[in-house]
């Protein structure tokens, strides 16, 4: 269509459109000043309402159409006027004369001269110009229709683009909300050394001797977590763990029995991979998780132990076992319910089998024999004799008003095979328990916990005696800055669930002890203090020489002070001691081939530093001095001599993303 516009008219129109942007702000010295002023005076140019020039502003097609129309109208008007005048003066014959005309005074000699000089074909040229004007008018009408259609298309396109932008932003936001990738990276350096040519066993159960450089290890672990909301109600979550810390620990649930340890090759484990979706039970909303799930119940029923006391690794410290199965959870104002069923022996790393072993149950042969030199102290968690292939369980808590809550748990652990024990053949462990919590006020809390582990064979009970544990505690809170408590515990020798309830020195999950617990937690300005003590005696319920007698005693003390010196700096000082008094004549008797009586001691002093490099990156360092003395009790001599001296240094850099 634009090829039909005559070049002369197009040049005029473009000049009008370009200069139509100028008005009052064109300075007198500007090269286009006279042209702009002339066009304004002749009515061809119409500036912007605010009187601005905007000379560098691009001309839109709408402005072009408006200027073209005004220019054509002005040109057409002038051509019509000129045509009429020329017709009157040139083309029309003069009127007849009757009398001799008076003398003619030539008032426009220049104009007459110019007219006389006009070519003879001026009329034809004017006709052609008129035809061109009509063509321009027709093109303008067609151009205006096209511009109107184009304007509607542009407005619709802008609306669609705006809607698409909104949809894209909404999709991006939904994608960020639906798919989230985060994780942690931990770099850990460890070193250990002997003192005075001695060796030692650290609280993880790792033995070491010699200089620091002989026992330096570096481990790293990457935890990558992906969460995706498939729908508002369905969530998929996967956790992949990669690094050589897996091969360093060897197991996420069991300790190494006093052996040296070094990291192996880089390994990986699919720690979690499940789908969670909502379900309804008894008219109440709950959720079901299916796949490789994480699960725990209570410390005295199902709770994975912390296999590294020197680092802070949430994946290992949480107490959750990884297992393949399903779990139902429901939480209301009055009742919390959990049901699960799972397989355990398939949670393997690429290099290690049964990495998340669940074991339970105990008999007299597997018991700790503290006075038997041939059965040195099992310085790790007492592994159960039943290694779980499958398990299923339930846990429920009911809230009775605002002050009382009551809970109960029941687990069935299946070995998948018959196992010979002192009590007969077994293939199953049932773990059950209950707890009561009473809060008469905001300051007072009273609790009691009971748990029991029974050995069975196809449902027939093989052991339901001296296989339980009981804890009770009374706590008083003096505001937010201080709590004090006292309690009592009784852990019988055959109590062995797959749980974790702490340690004395480097003896994890101690049993066959009963006595009093006390504790104090307070804060003095920027210093937090925590003091705990336990005073225990043996239960005497195990057949000698196994277990502790009622004359055997141990005093356990743990003190911790943490000082937040600066917003990014923190310092800690910790002491832990275990003072034994072993004197039961049936268990410590050299005449019977047993160890002599004695008073072994364990002392652990730890200094730690924390520095926050950023909100998500933390540097921790600690050094622990170990002083161990068997005091002549040969069964407590772990490395062949009474005295053990050593130090452990750990540096951990943790970052979250």
Residues 289 and 161 in one domain: no
What would the DSSP string read from start to end of 126-155?
A: HHHHHHHHHHHHHHHHHHHHHHHHHHHHHH
**According to the model, what pLDDT value does residue 473 have?**
98
- Report if residue 481 sits inside a domain: no
Q: pLDDT tens digits for 208-251?
A: 888 887 889 999 999 999 999 988 889 999 999 999 999 999 99
- Report if residue 10 sits inside a domain: yes
Residues 336 and 239 in one domain: yes
Residues 146 and 261 in one domain: no
Residues 250 and 125 in one domain: no
Q: Is the pLDDT of residue 350 over 80?
A: yes
User: Is there a contact between 355 and 252 (Cβ–Cβ < 8 Å)?
Assistant: yes
- Report if residue 623 sits inside a domain: no
- Report if residue 267 sits inside a domain: yes
- Band of residue 171 on the pLDDT scale cut at 50, 70, 90: confident
CB neighbour list of residue 312: distance below 8 Å, 6 or more residues apart: 620, 652, 654
- Report if residue 191 sits inside a domain: no
**Among 119-123, 301-305, 319-323, the least confident range:** 119-123
31, 68, 69 from 39: Cα distances, Å: 14, 14, 15
Q: Is the pLDDT of residue 486 over 50?
A: yes
Q: What is the mean pLDDT of residues 577-600?
A: 91
Residue that wins the pLDDT comparison between 60 and 348: 348
Q: Is the pLDDT of residue 270 over 80?
A: yes
- Report if residue 143 sits inside a domain: yes
10, 23, 72, 136, 519 from 19: Cα distances, Å: 14, 8, 16, 21, 90
Strands (E) located in 217-320? 217-229, 235-243, 267-281, 284-295
Residues 236 and 334 in one domain: yes
Residues 139 and 260 in one domain: no
User: Is there a contact between 221 and 342 (Cβ–Cβ < 8 Å)?
Assistant: no
Residues 239 and 347 in one domain: yes
pTM score, two decimals? 0.73
φ, ψ for residue 84, nearest 5 deg: -60, -40
Q: Of 341, 359, 377, which one is at a domain's C-terminal end? A: 359
**According to the model, what pLDDT value does residue 2 have?**
44
Q: Domain limits at 117? A: 2-20+59-170
Q: How far apart are CA 378 and CA 511, in angstroms?
A: 12
**Among 9-23, 180-194, 624-638, the least confident range:** 9-23
Q: How far apart are CA 283 and CA 85, in angstroms?
A: 98
Could you give the number of structural domains in the chain? 2
Q: How far apart are CA 467 and CA 259, in angstroms?
A: 29
Q: Of 359, 387, 416, which one is at a domain's C-terminal end? A: 359
Q: What percent of the chain has pLDDT over 70?
A: 83
Residues 7 and 117 in one domain: yes
* Closest to 542 in 3D by CA, of 474, 455, 465: 465
- Report if residue 114 sits inside a domain: yes
Strand partners, 624: 606, 648
- Report if residue 101 sits inside a domain: yes
Q: How far apart are CA 632 and CA 630, in angstroms?
A: 6
Residues 238 and 343 in one domain: yes
Residues 10 and 144 in one domain: yes
Strands 503-504 and 468-477: unpaired
Extract the tokens encoding 452: 């029991």
Residues 120 and 6 in one domain: yes
Q: Of 359, 383, 415, which one is at a domain's C-terminal end? A: 359
């Amino acid at each position: 269509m634009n090829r039909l516009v005559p070049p002369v008219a197009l040049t005029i129109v473009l000049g009008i459109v370009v200069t139509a942007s100028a008005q009052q702000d064109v300075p007198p010295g500007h090269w286009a000043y006279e042209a702009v002023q002339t066009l304004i005076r002749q009515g061809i140019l119409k500036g912007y309402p605010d009187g601005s020039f905007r000379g560098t502003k691009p001309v839109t097609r709408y402005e072009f159409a408006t200027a073209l129309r005004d220019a054509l109208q002005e040109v057409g008007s002038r051509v019509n006027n000129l045509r009429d005048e020329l017709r009157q003066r040139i083309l029309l014959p003069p009127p007849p004369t009757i009398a001799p005309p008076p003398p003619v005074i030539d008032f426009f000699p220049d104009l007459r001269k110019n007219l006389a000089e006009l070519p003879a074909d001026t009329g034809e040229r004017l006709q052609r110009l008129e035809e061109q004007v009509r063509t321009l008018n027709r093109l303008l009408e067609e151009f205006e229709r096209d511009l109107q259609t184009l304007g509607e298309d542009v407005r619709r396109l802008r609306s669609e683009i705006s809607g698409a932008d909104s949809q894209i932003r909404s999709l991006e936001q939904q994608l960020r909300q639906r798919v989230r990738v985060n994780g942690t990276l931990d770099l850990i350096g460890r070193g250990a050394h002997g003192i005075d040519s001695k060796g030692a066993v650290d609280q993880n159960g790792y033995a070491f001797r010699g200089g620091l450089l002989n026992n330096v290890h570096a481990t790293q672990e990457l935890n990558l977590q992906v969460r995706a909301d498939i729908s508002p109600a369905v969530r998929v979550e996967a956790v992949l763990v990669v690094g050589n810390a897996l091969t360093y620990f060897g197991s996420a649930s069991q300790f190494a029995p006093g052996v040296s340890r070094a990291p192996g090759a880089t390994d990986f484990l699919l720690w979690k991979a499940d789908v969670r979706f909502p379900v309804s039970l008894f008219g109440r909303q709950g959720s079901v998780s299916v796949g490789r799930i994480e699960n725990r119940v209570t410390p005295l029923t199902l709770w994975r132990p912390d296999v590294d006391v020197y680092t802070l690794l949430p994946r290992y410290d949480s107490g959750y076992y990884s297992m393949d199965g399903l779990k139902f959870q429901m939480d209301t104002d009055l009742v919390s319910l959990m049901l699960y069923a799972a397989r355990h022996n398939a949670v393997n790393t690429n290099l290690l089998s049964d990495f998340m072993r669940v074991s339970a149950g105990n008999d007299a042969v597997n018991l700790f024999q503290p006075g038997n030199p041939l059965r040195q102290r099992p310085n790790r968690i007492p592994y159960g004799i039943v290694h779980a292939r499958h398990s299923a369980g339930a846990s429920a808590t009911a809230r009775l008003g605002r002050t009382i809550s009551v809970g109960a748990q029941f687990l069935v652990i299946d070995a998948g095979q018959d196992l010979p024990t002192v009590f007969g053949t077994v293939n199953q462990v049932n773990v059950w328990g209950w707890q009561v919590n009473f809060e008469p006020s905001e300051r007072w809390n009273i609790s009691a916990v009971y748990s029991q582990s029974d050995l069975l064979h196809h449902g027939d009970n093989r052991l339901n005696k001296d296989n339980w544990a009981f804890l009770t505690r009374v706590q008083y809170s003096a505001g937010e800055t201080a709590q004090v408590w006292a309690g009592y515990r009784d852990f019988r020798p055959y109590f062995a669930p797959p749980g974790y309830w702490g340690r004395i020195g480097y003896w994890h999950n101690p049993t066959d002890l009963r006595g009093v617990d006390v504790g104090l937690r307070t804060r003095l300005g920027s210093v937090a203090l925590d003091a705990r003590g336990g005073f225990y005696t043996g239960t005497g319920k195990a057949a000698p020489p196994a277990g502790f007698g009622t004359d055997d005693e141990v005093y356990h003390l743990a003190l911790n002070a943490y000082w937040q010196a600066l917003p990014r700096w923190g310092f800690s000082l910790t002491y832990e001691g275990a003072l034994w008094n072993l004197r039961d004549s049936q268990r410590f008797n050299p005449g019977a081939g047993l160890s002599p009586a004695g008073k072994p001691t364990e002392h652990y002093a730890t200094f730690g530093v924390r520095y926050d490099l950023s909100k998500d990156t933390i540097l921790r360092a600690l050094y622990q001095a170990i002083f161990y003395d068997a005091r002549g009790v040969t069964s407590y001599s772990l490395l062949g001599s009474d005295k053990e001296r050593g130090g452990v240094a750990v540096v951990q850099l943790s970052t979250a993303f």
